[in-house]
């Protein structure tokens, strides 16, 4: 039986906040990516309808945590998405105005097969996976979120990176008509993030198109966002339209805005504070007591080798 992932507007929070219910339901999910329309010019954002993403049965994803998931109601109403305002409630209030269908993604730069994809074509060749990851924000709160997506490395391999591809740069949609925050200069737009090539190729690094068995709500970065669970949340750039392979380390939005607080690596590190926030403890959303923050957000066994010999206080 194929079940369409519901659009966020059709979701009642009461349907999905219960973990047991969620796991029971997902036995029935199936993933498929339906047909597409043409290949619209990059960023042209034509207003024609195209197929929606749907989901088949999901293989249990590697690296998933068994910790209690944060209720959907919390992960979709307590957000950072400055394109829609700086308050936690702004994205859920205003991001509904962003049209995400159709959507194009450009893969460019140092690779053999640069291309502009329609979102469905971009994702369709891959089996979607579920990954239940810890999500740690530099503001010292955390969540546990069941993402649905594709390992970024599968997508990068398809474009065949060249020897010059040492970093990957990601860019969010720029459309001040639909993203009112972009009409102010609170950040330099469009939002830009980056990873070192080996970080991008790490099997934990995900391009997400869904969460909790459904398409991503706009406020969480629909239709396509990055998820890098051992780094602070701001590395997980939302609503991506461009992925560029580059030789030099990108200057990211937050490095440009507040360089003393935001470095390129931004690995979760309880030993390096980010004024005004200490990074030693975090509050899991919904918990009363704080808990200790773990190095690399608890993913050290998987990723610590990427940084062997590096001074992580200097390269924060
Ligand atoms: N991506 C864009 N384009 N704009 C943003 O403001 N905020 C970042 C990140 N990605 C942000 C973004 C920050 S600071 C965090 S903590 C996470 O998204 C929050 O993701 P969530 O709202 O799904 O929890």
Atom of ligand 1 nearest to the CA of 82: 6
Ligand 1 geometric centre to CA of 38 (Å)? 30
Residues 6-59 pLDDT 10s:
343 444 443 333 434 344 333 323 222 222 323 333 333 333 333 456 655 576
Q: Where are the domains of the chain?
A: 18-261
Nearest atom (ligand 1) to Cα of 79: 22
- Which of 88, 234, 240 has most ligand 1 atoms within 8 Å of its beta carbon, as the pocket-test mutant? 234
Confidence of residue 60 (pLDDT cuts 50, 70, 90): low
Ligand 1 atom index nearest CA of 239: 3
CA distance 183 to 189: 9
Distance of alpha carbon 15 from alpha carbon 245, whole angstroms: 40
Separation of CA 111 from chain center: 23
| Measured CA distances, 12 to 73, 92, 198 (Å) | 9, 14, 39
Whether the bond into 190 is cis, omega within 30 of 0: yes
DSSP 147-161: EEEEEHHHHHHHH-B
Q: Atom 3 of ligand 1 has which residue's CA nearest to it?
A: 238
Name the closest-CA residue to atom 8, ligand 1. Answer: 234
Single pTM value for the model: 0.86
Q: Which of 206, 236, 279 to mutate to test the pocket of ligand 1 (most atoms within 8 A of CB)?
A: 236
Tell whether domain 18-261 is in CATH 3.30.360.10: no
User: According to the model, what pLDDT value does residue 33 have?
Assistant: 28
Task: For residue range 144-163, list pLDDT tens digits in order.
Answer: 999 999 999 999 999 999 99
**DSSP secondary structure of the chain:** --BPPPPGGG--HHHHS-HHHHHHHHTT-EEEE------PPTT-------PPEEEEPPPBPTT---SPPPPHHHHTTS---GGG-SSTTHHHHHGGGS--SS-EEEEEESBS--EEEEHHHHHTTS--EEEEEEEE-TTSEEEEEEEEEEEHHHHHHHH-B-TT--EEEEEE---TTT-GGGGS-SSPSSPEEEEEHHHHTSTT-EEEEEETTEEPPGGGTTT-EEE-TTB-GGGS--SEEEEEEESSPP--HHHHH-TTT--S--B--TTS-BTTB-SSEEEETT-SS-EEPPGGGGTHHHHGGGGTT--TTT--
pLDDT at 55: 56
Nearest CA to ligand 1 atom 24: 79
Of all protein residues, whose CA lies closest to atom 18 belonging to ligand 1?
A: 234
- Pocket probe for ligand 1: among 221, 232, 282, 285, the residue whose CB has the most ligand atoms within 8 Å is 221
pLDDT digit string (tens) for 277-308? 999 999 999 999 999 999 999 999 999 999 99
Q: Is the dihedral of CA 226, 229, 231, 232 positive or negative?
A: positive
Residue whose entry in the numeric block shows the structure tokens 């580059």: 246
- 112 CA → ligand 1 middle, Å: 31
Question: What does the alpha-carbon distance between residue 297 and residue 205 come to, in Å, rounded to a whole number?
Answer: 14
Q: Which residue has the higher pLDDT, 97 or 18?
A: 97
pLDDT of residue 274: 86
Q: How far is the CA of 299 from the centre of ligand 1 (A)?
A: 20
In degrees, to the nearest 5, what angle opens at C-alpha 125 toward C-alphas 120 and 129? 90
- CA 281 to ligand 1 centroid distance, Å: 20
Can you give the pLDDT at residue 190? 98
Ligand 1: centre distance to CA 17 (Å): 22
- Lowest mean per-residue pLDDT among 35-39, 49-53, 186-190, 206-210: 35-39
Residue 206 backbone dihedrals phi, psi, to 5 degrees: -120, 145
CA of 261 to the centre of ligand 1 (A): 16
* Closest C-alpha to ligand 1, atom 22: 79
What lines the ligand 1 site, CB under 6 Å? 79-83, 135, 137, 172, 191, 220, 233-234, 236-239
Residue 283 contacts residue 142 (beta carbons within 8 Å): yes
d(CA 84, CA 90): 6
Whether 225 and 207 have beta carbons less than 8 Å apart is answered as yes
First to last CA, the chain: 47
pLDDT, average across residues 225-247: 98
Which residue bears the tokens 């970024």? 152
């Amino acid at each position: 039986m194929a079940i369409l992932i519901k659009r966020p507007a059709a979701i009642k929070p009461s349907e999905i906040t219960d973990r047991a219910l969620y796991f029971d339901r997902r036995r029935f999910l199936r993933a498929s990516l339906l047909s597409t329309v043409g290949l619209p010019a990059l960023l042209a954002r034509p207003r024609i309808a195209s197929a929606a993403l749907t989901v088949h049965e999901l293989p249990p994803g590697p690296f998933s945590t068994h910790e209690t998931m944060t209720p959907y109601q919390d992960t979709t109403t307590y957000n950072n998405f400055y394109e829609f305002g700086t308050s936690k409630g702004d994205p859920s209030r205003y991001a509904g105005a962003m049209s995400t269908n159709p959507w194009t993604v450009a893969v460019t730069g140092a690779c053999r097969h640069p291309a502009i994809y329609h979102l469905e074509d971009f994702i369709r060749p891959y089996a979607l996976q579920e990954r239940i990851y810890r999500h740690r924000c530099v503001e010292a709160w955390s969540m546990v979120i069941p993402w649905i997506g594709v390992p970024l490395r599968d997508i990068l391999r398809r474009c065949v990176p060249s020897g010059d591809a040492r970093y990957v740069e990601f860019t969010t949609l720029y459309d001040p008509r639909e993203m009112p925050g972009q009409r102010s200069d609170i950040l330099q737009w469009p939002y830009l993030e980056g990873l070192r090539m080996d970080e991008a190729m790490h099997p934990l690094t995900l391009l997400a198109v869904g969460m909790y068995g459904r398409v991503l709500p706009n406020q969480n970065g629909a239709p396509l966002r990055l998820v890098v669970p051992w780094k602070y949340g701001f590395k997980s750039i939302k609503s991506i339209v461009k992925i560029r392979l580059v030789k030099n380390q990108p200057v990211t939005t937050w490095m440009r805005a507040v360089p003393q607080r935001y470095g390129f690596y931004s690995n979760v590190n309880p030993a390096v504070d980010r004024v005004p926030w200490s990074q030693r403890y975090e509050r899991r959303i919904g918990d009363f007591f704080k808990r200790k923050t773990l190095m690399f957000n608890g993913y050290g066994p998987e990723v610590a080798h990427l940084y062997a010999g590096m001074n992580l206080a200097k390269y924060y």
